[in-house]
Amino acid sequence: MIKSARTYVCREANVCLENGTKCTEVRDNVLKISDGSYEFFRSVYYDRAEHTSMTLKIPDKIYEGYLDTKKWEVDKKTRVTHCYTPIMIEEMFLSGAVEMTHDAKADILLIGMGAGYLNSHLHFAYPKFNITSVEIEPEMVRVARDWFGFVEDERQRAIVMDGAKMVEMAVEEGHKYDVVILDACTLDLAVGVNCPLKVYQFGENYKLFPLKSSTVPISNYSGAVIINVISLVLDTVQAANQVTKLYIQVFDNCRAKPAPLSPPNICGSFPQVVTCAKQDRPEGVVEQYDAVFR
């Protein structure tokens, strides 16, 4: 139960990842808004930092004096504003990779699904998207199903395996995607850049993303790779520049956008979203996006 004076309640502790070395917990949170109203959301926390969240739907009837949020559904329709994922969604359209309509058809590959907010929102909001998610941690797939409303059907599936191996397999088998979203991270403080993983920064893996109709093996000519860049020890502008310099060797166009409202906020350094594509952005694309989706 969450009583009115409490900020959060733990729903599941000791969700352990990375061979049991890093343990997270699932929380239900209450946030008081400036107008006196309250926002309720479910999140995954690690080491006092929020790493992903999803708004909860307030039921029509609640018991007086307390709120049993454990039984509440997650809100798949609403975009979580205090996160980097809305920028990733915008970039799918602004990059030219996906047609500017709610009925757009697109094959999406998500590498690193976390608790599944992005998957669930895309699945709900864009009914013609075909979504494949790859997650190396089986516990995170379970958490996504148990706490964040993730469901699998003919349009959405989760594969538990190493994302880098999935990329190699897609190239070998000829699978291609309109958008590859790279959100694969480590919680290890000893590394400089936590997202994306080191395997996507060095070696040849960054050259292999299967985008459609492209010299890049797994993407469209109009395809895009969208990357979450986070550092728990470096300034993320520096980290984003490092990632951009690498990927622009393969893609002709890369740009970074800050996510200033997104966790984790480490000493004022926010996550950055880096988008890379072979094509230039269409003229007037921002105005078109605002007209369709705002």
Query: What's the pLDDT tens digit per position in 5-60?
Result: 347 788 887 788 767 777 889 999 888 777 878 888 898 887 667 778 888 998 87
Domain boundary among 71, 94, 128: 71
108 and 52 share one domain: no
For residue 81, give both structure tokens.
Answer: 């504003």
96 and 234 share one domain: yes
185 and 65 share one domain: no
Does residue 53 lie in a domain region?
yes
Compute the mean pLDDT over every residue in the chain, rounded to the nearest whole number. Answer: 83
Does residue 204 lie in a domain region?
yes
115 and 196 share one domain: yes
92 and 136 share one domain: yes
pLDDT at 4 over 70: no
108 and 165 share one domain: yes
110 and 156 share one domain: yes
What average pLDDT does the segment 110-126 reach? Answer: 91
143 and 66 share one domain: no
Between 159 and 251, the higher pLDDT residue: 159
Query: What's the pLDDT tens digit per position in 134-159?
Result: 999 898 899 999 999 999 999 999 99
Return the pLDDT at 89.
Answer: 94
111 and 62 share one domain: no
Does residue 76 lie in a domain region?
no
Distance, CA of 286 to CA of 53 (rounded, Å): 26
DSSP string computed for the chain: -EETT-SEEEEEEEEEETTTTEEEEEEEEEEE-TTS-EEEEEEEEETTEEEEEEEBPPPS---TTEE-GGGPPB-SSSPPSSSSHHHHHHHHHHTTSS-SSTT--EEEEEE--TTSHHHHHHHHH-TTEEEEEEES-HHHHHHHHHHS----BTTEEEEES-HHHHHHHHHHHT--EEEEEE------TTSS--BS-GGGTSTTGGG--BBTTSSSTBEEEEEEEEEEEB-SSS-HHHHHHHHHHHHTTTSSEEEEEE-TTPSP-BTTB--EEEEEESSPPPTTHHHHHHHHH-
Domain range holding 34? 2-71
Query: What's the pLDDT tens digit per position in 160-203?
Result: 999 988 988 888 888 889 999 999 888 777 788 888 988 888 65
Beta bridge pairs of residue 269: 266
54 and 99 share one domain: no
Does residue 77 lie in a domain region?
no
142 and 181 share one domain: yes
Query: What's the pLDDT tens digit per position in 204-244?
Result: 555 566 666 544 555 555 789 999 998 888 888 899 999 99
Is pTM beyond 0.95? Reply is no
The CATH number of whichever domain residue 277 belongs to comes to 3.40.50.150
Q: What is the phi/psi pair of residue 26, to 5°?
A: -95, 130
